[in-house]
Amino acid sequence: MAANQYIDTRGASERPVTFTEAVVDGLAAGGGLYVPERIPELSLEEIAALAQLPYAQRAARIYRAFGVDLPDETVDALMEQAYGDNFDDERICPITSLTANTHVLELWHGPTSAFKDMALQCLPRFFSASAAQLREQGELDHDFLILVATSGDTGKAALEGFRDVDGVSIGVMYPDGGVSDIQHKQMATQRGGNVQVWGVRGNFDDCQTGAKNVFGDEAFAEKLQTEHRIALSSANSINWGRLMPQIVYYVSAYAQLVADGKLGLGDELDVCVPTGNFGNILAAYYAKRMGVPLGMLYCASNENRVLTDFINTGTYDITDRDFVLTPSPSMDILVSSNLERQLFELTGRNAGAIAGWMADLREKRAFRVDEDTFAQVRAAFASDSIDNATCLDTIKRVFDEHDYLLDPHTAVAYRTAENLRGENPVLIASTAHWAKFGDNVYRALHGLEPGAPLPADVAALTGCALNELIAQETGKHDIPSGLAQLDDLPIRFADVIDNGTDDIETAALRFLERLDAATSGQND
């Protein structure tokens, strides 16, 4: 199949690029995001046939359908590495059916116990292979610094995926005080010689804006290239290589439900996704475009309900919107980067409209889409926001009714699905193992208010010890080893920086200088 090309949502790139270029670049020129020129279509028979393959081969087949410019044998080998015994279930993302029409897609069986592993066990391998191929073609002569802003889960998954990858270093920024104890320790104890972690004063949007500003600083890019022979790239879901593996699991899930006799081939399946940066639900949209019979896409928001308000009104407005800390911190986001890709598709790929709206968002902190685009949004999506108390109540109720323990993000999606669903069966994207958020799971199970202090003896426990207590109380002893053993690991990273562009760039340069010194010492 001819290689697919990738175009820019804002129309600023001089030419379309290949898959390998899009993955290595991360962000398009002018700040836009890459999307494929051609979205492949699969027949119902081709979708159903995927269920006969192991997950890695399902993923390879979908990548080949997209026409990636890597040899088929390379794609096959990379997928076998990405989706193997690094996951604790050979099915990779098994489906648990709570009722005949309510199915939970468990996306957290990877090494960091969050759905980000589904993409970030894949992207680093494809990034490295893409860079190697471009070097062989004489189109690349430098290494890379991956700069990541995280609301909690992406950071650890990216660190784990990129650790000790040749030709790549990675720096992760998280909001200081804005992640759970478990999430913090997962990042602060990260192994690897090419990794760095910073707490950032502010919230996730401050981290993400700071990262975007660094990416847009041409003088800094020149300094990195001149002094370190390094270019910036991204592992956030602005990188198409992060988004594409997520498409796979929606195609795969539909095929699996049909194979298991829980869905008739061709029957519609609605999907509900806890949504922050819009990448996970956008992947479901692309799966639908490929021919998977998905119905409504339910966008589940927490009290940071900017996406719910946008889907219900057509206006994206963060001018006077407070940033709320919730039990589901990975969704505590006000600027949803991947909405740009979604609007590009819903406008019939109108780059001029996207550039204008993104400029309005940057300058006025608000934009409004036209009536035709809003009608397209309403046809594809419905949305609801779940307050903090309802989120915790849902965890308790689902445990009582189904003996199944949800994390707070999945609880937001579960309740949203209850509120919005029609007659179609619903697939709920479960994005994290409950033990990543033990404090709020404990509050839920014991009827405590959101944010209420834990009992003194419980508050004195580490995140790992608290999870063990919950396991004893509930009988849910499935705590992944990567979470259970965190207390035994040394803290490597404790730096906290300000969120200004200069602050981030200074920290990044210090990190690279340390790496240079370490390399120089090894060579001596």
Q: What is the mean pLDDT of the chain?
A: 95
Tokens representing 207 are: 């981290």
Per-residue pLDDT tens for 264-294? 999 999 999 999 889 999 999 999 999 999 9
Residue 522's pLDDT band (cuts 50, 70, 90): low
Domain-located, residue 187 = yes
Q: In this model, does residue 524 exceed pLDDT 60? A: no
Domain-located, residue 59 = no
Per-residue pLDDT at 455:
98
Instruction: List the catalytic residue out of 116, 185, 212, 436.
Output: 116
Q: In this model, does residue 332 exceed pLDDT 90? A: no
Per-residue pLDDT at 212:
85
Q: In this model, does residue 523 exceed pLDDT 70? A: no
Residues 212 and 167 in one domain: yes
Residues 215 and 190 in one domain: yes
Q: 201: domain CATH number?
A: 3.40.50.1100
What stretches of 365-387 show up as alpha helix (H) in DSSP? Answer: 371-380
User: What one-character DSSP code corresponds to residue 517?
Assistant: H
Per the CB < 8 A criterion, the answer to whether 190 and 315 are in contact is no
Residues 156 and 210 in one domain: yes
Per-residue pLDDT tens for 191-220? 999 999 999 999 988 998 999 899 889 999
Domain-located, residue 156 = yes
Residues constituting the chain = 524
Residues 160 and 220 in one domain: yes
Residues 390-417 have a mean pLDDT of 98
Residues 497 and 467 in one domain: no
User: What one-character DSSP code corresponds to residue 141?
Assistant: -
Domain-located, residue 149 = yes
Domain-located, residue 439 = yes
Per the CB < 8 A criterion, the answer to whether 279 and 243 are in contact is yes
Per-residue pLDDT at 1:
58
Domain-located, residue 2 = no
Separation of alpha carbons 426 and 272, rounded Å: 7
Characterize the bridge pairing of strands 168-175 and 195-200: parallel
- HEC sequence for 65-113: HCCCCCCHHHHHHHHHHHCCCCCCCCCCCCEEEEECCEEEEECCCCCCC
What stretches of 421-480 show up as alpha helix (H) in DSSP? Answer: 438-445, 456-459, 463-474
Residues 170 and 192 in one domain: yes
Domain housing 462: 434-479
Cα atoms in the 13 Å half-sphere on the side-chain side of 365: 9
Cα atoms in the 13 Å half-sphere on the side-chain side of 375: 4
Domain-located, residue 421 = no
Residues 157 and 181 in one domain: yes
Number of domains within the chain: 2
Per-residue pLDDT at 335:
87
Region of residue 394 (phi > 0: left; psi between -120 and 50: alpha; otherwise: beta): alpha
Q: Look at 58-62, 335-339, 366-370 and tell me which has the smallest mean pLDDT.
A: 335-339
Per-residue pLDDT tens for 105-128? 999 999 999 999 999 999 999 999
Residues 209 and 156 in one domain: yes
Domain-located, residue 275 = no
Tokens representing 431 are: 């994005």
- Which residues 6+ apart lie within 8 Å of 138 measured at CB? none
Beta bridge mates, 171:
147, 196
Separation of alpha carbons 380 and 317, rounded Å: 21
Separation of alpha carbons 35 and 221, rounded Å: 24
Q: Does 223 qualify as catalytic in the annotation?
A: no
**Given strand 168-175, what is the order of strands in its sheet?**
230-233, 143-149, 168-175, 195-200, 496-497
Largest CA distance in the chain: 69
The sign one gets for the Cα dihedral 178, 338, 243, 223 is negative
